[in-house]
Structure 1
């Protein structure tokens, strides 16, 4: 059975807006390293459209810093499943799914392969409730935002989920990576 990992950048006050962070080279290198163990990314439509075609363009054009180019190359080479009611067409690495996210992820988890990375805040409560997330990788950035999309909205989980801290990484930028395992 494959391991499913959830990764997200968040502010100190728990907001997940990718447009407000300016990750340093060390944070990008951390995410690139994480992606070495991943052969499938499971997206919701919003994050998928935020990430692509941006990262595939950077990979193709090599238009970023050395760390951005390396991340873009790795990230855009991984197969993707996007859960969406509105998208119908993806690229050669992307399969669009219109059905139940938890059911689809449960099927994918049973297939052989490396880790599956979940990159969706909107599906997170459903996937946690279904018991499908095995690891959580949160990079907390030294910023207080005060508004936006929360990692989890109040009342979105039926019961709490206890986690075990596996690793802490401190970055020069002041960001901190927290790696948790489901108990």
Structure 2
């Protein structure tokens, strides 16, 4: 069975709005390296629209830094699934699933392949409750913002999820990457 990983940048106070972070080349290299073991990205609509077409444009134009360009090329090359009831069209290596994200992710998890990378805060509680997420990669940025989108809304989990810390990495920027496995 394939492994499902969830990765997210968060502030010290638990917010994950991507507009508040200023990733370094080191962080782009970290996330690009994580994608070496991934052959499917599983997005909610909001995250998909945040990431694309922006990164697809960077990959085509090579308009970013060296780290951004490598990240963009790797990200856009991977097949994607986006959960959406409203999207009409997506990139060529992306397909839309209209409902039942947990059921669809379970089917994908049972297929042969590399890891599946989940990137959706809105789907997180449902997919945690379904027991479908095996690994968590949280990069904590040294910033307190006091507002924005929290990683999880209060009361969104019926029961707590116990994790085991298996690795940490400290970056020159002060960011700390935490890698957890579901217990």
TM norm structure 2 = 0.99
Is 1:127 the counterpart of 2:127? The answer is: yes
After superposition, residues 129-144 of structure 1 pair within 5 angstroms as: 129-144=129-144
Matching residue of 2:64 = 64
Partner secondary structure for residue 36 of structure 1: helix
1:122-167 CA distance string (max 9 Å, x none) = 0000000000000000000011111111001111001000000010
After superposition, residues 32-47 of structure 1 pair within 5 angstroms as: 32-47=32-47
Q: Distance in 1 between matches of 2:82 and 2:91?
A: 11
How far off its partner does 1:88 sit?
A: 2.2
Q: Distance in 1 between matches of 2:16 and 2:102?
A: 21
Is 1:21 the counterpart of 2:58? The answer is: no
Q: Distance in 1 between matches of 2:135 and 2:88?
A: 30
1:78-115 CA distance string (max 9 Å, x none) = 00000011012112111011011101100000000000
Gaps in structure 2 of 5+ consecutive residues: none
Q: CA RMSD in A?
A: 0.5
After superposition, residues 30-179 of structure 1 pair within 5 angstroms as: 30-179=30-179
Q: Distance in 1 between matches of 2:145 and 2:80?
A: 30
Q: Distance in 1 between matches of 2:181 and 2:19?
A: 27
Query: Which runs of structure 1 show a deviation greater than 3 angstroms over 4 or more consecutive aligned residues?
Result: none
Q: Distance in 1 between matches of 2:67 and 2:91?
A: 24
Q: Distance in 2 between matches of 1:126 and 1:41?
A: 17
TM norm structure 1 = 0.99
The size of the alignment, in residue pairs, is: 183
Partner secondary structure for residue 96 of structure 2: strand
How far off its partner does 1:49 sit?
A: 0.3
Is 1:182 the counterpart of 2:176? The answer is: no
Q: Distance in 2 between matches of 1:35 and 1:7?
A: 11
Q: Distance in 1 between matches of 2:116 and 2:74?
A: 14
Partner secondary structure for residue 139 of structure 1: strand
